């Protein structure tokens, strides 16, 4: 085969597997009062010290941070900013889970024992012995582990109202990080007390805890689920939503505008008619949300395992930027609401056992013990028999404490994304904070991140009609090219022999 023929064949193969002209990331249309991260950094990256200050803020995590930023990811982000790779910045990092996982494992070996080595260690038989030790990973408010008391929820909360103190940071140059109040903020005092009470009731299962109780209209509860049952019995409406959002990577604002900062992951799915370009999706944030309305208590709290290493109930009264959207994949009431509460309480205790047994896990165990999706996935699997979230990262081998047998089994049952296996489309689309519309061509048009709705509409339609394709690794591409070249060369030699 002549060199020109080989080159033509190589180009054809490269085109068929995705190596066409580079994809230009759209920058419009944008939601009102919103700009891309690249737009902010175009203007500010030249200011001495600003990039490092911004990266330091991101590295601290956030209420709904999508993923921990390992040193490798921080370095990658810095390179894109300093190299003025604005296209890459608006799809950062765009890696597969197979590429992200090793960066986390490296940190694990540096910061403490590796999860695999930890899994072989004997589980510590105790639990946090003091309130101060427990509060490192469980917010208890004014309540203590070693003090027995009964909180009367019929009385108004005496906690302070909503404040942005500690939530909003000014970086200068017109940039702030953090969000103000949403429409639930007026109930902050009641919501904060409820979150503290639910956490403290869950902690009753810790061996070092004395008995704690909450009372509603004379009904005494000693566990989170008993409290929800008591609220239902006293005329309160309780709804528990399985909520999904796009995770906000930064919670930044620039000159009064929201800064759009998703954290992108390669789904290993091909966008149809794109020449093989992979579908990149923003990582979602998942949590359970309790909305309580009634004659004695009005409050709203959420549960998830966060980047702070805390598996617990929290308030949910800060304002989300409009582009993150929101969807309740499931809603639970009555006995189902009680059951979801019970499972969340068991997860809270299981993670406290993990912190006690493995204090050296980096990031408070975040990633090794799962991310926000894992606990929600575990409960979703118990309640519906399905899992519709991606990614899940918990190392099942770490969940071996016999006191947490039910949670261990639930974590083991959910699909994992630690090895980089191709995630099921149901989990890719199920993680999104908007449900597909009736028309497959316009299924995700509610999404306002530039370019994403078009990609999702095309891939969702392909999934529905059975034409969805998966991406292949670089090595698979090279192997395909080499095999094709070998086949072509063999055919060429065969033709020459026939001619002679």
User: CA 300, CA 291: separation in Å to the nearest integer?
Assistant: 5
> Whole-prediction pTM value?
0.86
Q: CB of 112 within 8 A of CB of 360?
A: yes
pLDDT band at 60 (very low <50, low <70, confident <90, very high): low
Which parts of 157-311 fold into alpha helices (H)? 188-202, 224-233
Strand order in the sheet with 299-305: 311-315, 299-305, 284-293, 237-246, 327-333
User: Measured in whole angstroms, how far is the alpha carbon of residue 325 from the centre of its chain?
Assistant: 14
Measured CA to CA in angstroms, residue 233 lies from 224, 228, 297 at distances of 14, 9, 13
pLDDT for residue 483 is more than 70: no
Judged by average pLDDT, the poorest of 125-129, 270-274, 301-305 is 125-129
How does DSSP classify residue 318?
B
User: CA 392, CA 378: separation in Å to the nearest integer?
Assistant: 10
Per-residue confidence (pLDDT) for residue 443, from 0 to 100: 83
pLDDT for residue 115 is more than 80: no
Instruction: Give the pLDDT confidence of 80-111 residue by residue, as tens digits.
Output: 999 999 999 999 999 999 998 877 664 444 44
Per-residue confidence (pLDDT) for residue 69, from 0 to 100: 72
Judged by average pLDDT, the poorest of 200-214, 242-256, 352-366 is 352-366
pLDDT band at 22 (very low <50, low <70, confident <90, very high): confident
pLDDT band at 16 (very low <50, low <70, confident <90, very high): very low
User: CA 399, CA 20: separation in Å to the nearest integer?
Assistant: 45
* 191-212 average pLDDT score: 96
pLDDT for residue 140 is more than 70: yes
Q: CB of 416 within 8 A of CB of 397?
A: no
Per-residue confidence (pLDDT) for residue 70, from 0 to 100: 78
User: CA 30, CA 32: separation in Å to the nearest integer?
Assistant: 6
Residues 6+ apart with CB under 8 A from 426: 386, 388
User: CA 119, CA 116: separation in Å to the nearest integer?
Assistant: 5
pLDDT for residue 66 is more than 50: no
Instruction: Give the pLDDT confidence of 23-42 residue by residue, as tens digits.
Output: 899 999 999 999 999 999 99
Per-residue confidence (pLDDT) for residue 189, from 0 to 100: 98
Classify residue 100 as exposed, middle or buried by CB count within 10 Å of its CB (0-12, 13-18, 19+).
buried
Classify residue 163 as exposed, middle or buried by CB count within 10 Å of its CB (0-12, 13-18, 19+).
exposed
Q: CB of 437 within 8 A of CB of 454?
A: no
Decide which of 476 and 485 is more confident.
485
Instruction: Give the pLDDT confidence of 460-475 residue by residue, as tens digits.
Output: 999 999 999 999 754 4
Per-residue confidence (pLDDT) for residue 117, from 0 to 100: 28
Q: Which residues of 273-296 are buried (b: 16+ CB within 10 A; e: fewer)?
A: ebebbbbbbbbbbbbbbbbbeeeb
pLDDT band at 372 (very low <50, low <70, confident <90, very high): very high
Kind plus residue range of the DSSP H or E element containing 98: helix 97-111
pLDDT for residue 499 is more than 60: no
**How many angstroms separate the first and last alpha carbons of the chain?**
17
Q: CB of 484 within 8 A of CB of 13?
A: yes
* 273-279 average pLDDT score: 95
pLDDT for residue 118 is more than 80: no
Length of the chain: 500
Which parts of 130-178 fold into alpha helices (H)? 131-135
pLDDT band at 419 (very low <50, low <70, confident <90, very high): confident
> Any idea where the domains of the chain sit in the sequence?
18-471
């Amino acid at each position: 085969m002549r060199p020109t023929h080989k080159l033509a064949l190589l180009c054809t193969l490269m085109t068929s597997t995705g190596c066409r002209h580079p994809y230009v990331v759209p920058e419009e249309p944008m939601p009102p009062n919103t700009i891309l991260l690249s737009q902010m950094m175009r203007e500010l990256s030249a200011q001495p010290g600003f990039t490092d200050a911004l990266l330091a803020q991101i590295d601290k995590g956030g209420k709904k941070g999508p993923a921990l930023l390992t040193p490798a990811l921080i370095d990658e982000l810095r390179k894109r900013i300093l190299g003025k790779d604005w296209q890459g910045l608006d799809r950062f990092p765009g890696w597969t889970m197979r590429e992200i996982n090793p960066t986390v494992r490296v940190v694990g070996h540096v910061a403490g024992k590796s999860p695999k080595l930890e899994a072989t260690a004997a589980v510590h038989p105790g639990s946090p012995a003091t309130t101060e030790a427990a509060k490192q990973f469980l917010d208890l408010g004014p309540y203590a582990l070693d003090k027995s008391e009964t909180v009367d929820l019929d009385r108004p909360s005496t906690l302070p109202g909503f404040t942005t103190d500690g939530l909003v940071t000014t970086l200068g140059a017109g940039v702030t990080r953090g969000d103000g109040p949403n429409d639930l903020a007026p109930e902050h005092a009641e919501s904060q007390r409820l979150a503290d009470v639910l956490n403290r009731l869950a902690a009753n299962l810790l061996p070092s805890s004395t008995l704690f109780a909450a009372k509603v209209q004379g009904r005494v509860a000693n566990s989170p689920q008993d409290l929800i049952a008591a609220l239902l019995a006293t005329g309160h409406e309780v709804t528990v939503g399985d909520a999904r959002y796009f995770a906000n990577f930064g919670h930044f604002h620039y000159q009064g505008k929201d800064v759009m900062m998703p954290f992108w992951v390669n789904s290993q799915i091909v966008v149809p008619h794109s020449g093989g370009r992979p579908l990149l999706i923003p990582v979602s944030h998942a949590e359970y949300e309790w909305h309580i309305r009634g004659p004695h208590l009005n409050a709203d709290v959420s549960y998830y395992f966060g980047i702070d290493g805390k598996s617990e109930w929290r308030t949910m009264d800060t304002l989300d930027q409009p582009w993150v959207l929101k969807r309740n994949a499931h809603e639970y009431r009555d006995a189902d609401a009680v059951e979801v509460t019970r499972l969340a309480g068991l997860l809270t205790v299981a993670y406290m056992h993990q912190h006690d047994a493995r204090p050296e896990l980096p990031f408070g165990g975040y990633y090794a013990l799962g991310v926000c999706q894992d606990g929600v996935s575990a409960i979703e699997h118990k309640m519906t028999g399905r899992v519709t979230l991606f990614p899940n990262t918990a190392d099942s081998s770490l969940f071996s404490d016999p006191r947490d047998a039910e949670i261990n089994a639930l974590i083991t049952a959910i699909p994992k994304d630690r090895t980089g296996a191709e995630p099921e489309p149901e989990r890719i689309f199920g993680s999104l904070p908007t449900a597909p519309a009736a028309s497959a061509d316009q299924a995700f048009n509610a999404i306002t991140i530039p370019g994403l709705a078009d990609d999702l509409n095309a891939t969702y339609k392909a999934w529905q009609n059975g034409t969805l394709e998966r991406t292949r690794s670089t090595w698979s591409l090279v192997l395909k090219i080499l095999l094709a070249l070998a086949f072509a060369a063999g055919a060429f030699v065969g033709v020459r022999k026939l001619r002679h």
